[in-house]
Amino acid sequence: MGNPMKIRAANKDGVTEVKVLVSHEMETGQRKDSAGAIVPAWFITELVAKHGDKVVLTSEFGPSVSKNPYLAFKFKGGAKGDKITVSWKDNKGDSRTDEAAIN
C-alpha cells in the first residue's frame, strides 16, 4: 500500500499547478547493505495523474529517481474543488492512489 502521498493543487488564471510529494523508498538495486548483500531494487515504475477522469500526466519512473520524490507539473484547465488523483505502481507490484481537491 505504501505511505500516503502529499498532494497540493492550486488553480491560478486557468492553469492548475499540482505538487506531489511521494513517499517511497526508491531503492536502485545498486546499493549494498553493511553485510555486502545487494539491497533489492524497489522503485516506482509508473505514475499517473488525473483531473477528474481525464489523464493529465503519465510518467515512467525508474531507479534514478530519488527517495521520496517531489513532482510538480501544470496543466491548463481545472477549477476550484475539482478532484486530482495521483497513482503510482512500483516494480514489486505495489500501487497507491491518493487524491486532493484543487484550491
Partner 1 sequence: MFRFSKPLFVFALFSASTVALAVDKYDGVGRAATPAEVKAWDIDVRPDFKGLPKGSGSVDRGQELFEEKCASCHGSFGESNEVFTPLAGGTTKDDIKTGRVKGLSSGELPQRTTFTKVATISTVFDYIQRAMPWTAPKSLKPDDVYAILAYLLNLQEIVPGDFTLSDKNIADVQKLLPNRNGMTTDHGMWPGAPASKGGIGNGGKPDTANKACMKNCKPDVLIGSTLPEYARTAHGELRDQNRSFGAVRGTQTLGPEAAKKAADAGTLELATKSGCMACHGMKSKIVGPGYNEVVARYKDQPDAESRLVAKVKAGGQGVWGSIPMPPNGHIKDEDISTLVKWILSGSK
Minimum distance, C-beta of residue 100 to partner 1, in the bound complex (Å): 11
Region near partner 1 per CB under 8 A, out of 6-14, 46-54, 79-87, 92-100: 6-14
Positions 39 through 98 that interact with partner 1 (CB under 8 A): 67-68, 70, 72
Q: Which is nearer to partner 1, 10 or 57 (CB)?
A: 10
Minimum distance, C-beta of residue 35 to partner 1, in the bound complex (Å): 14
Minimum distance, C-beta of residue 71 to partner 1, in the bound complex (Å): 11
Nearest to residue 43, comparing CAs of 94, 97, 99, 102?
Answer: 94
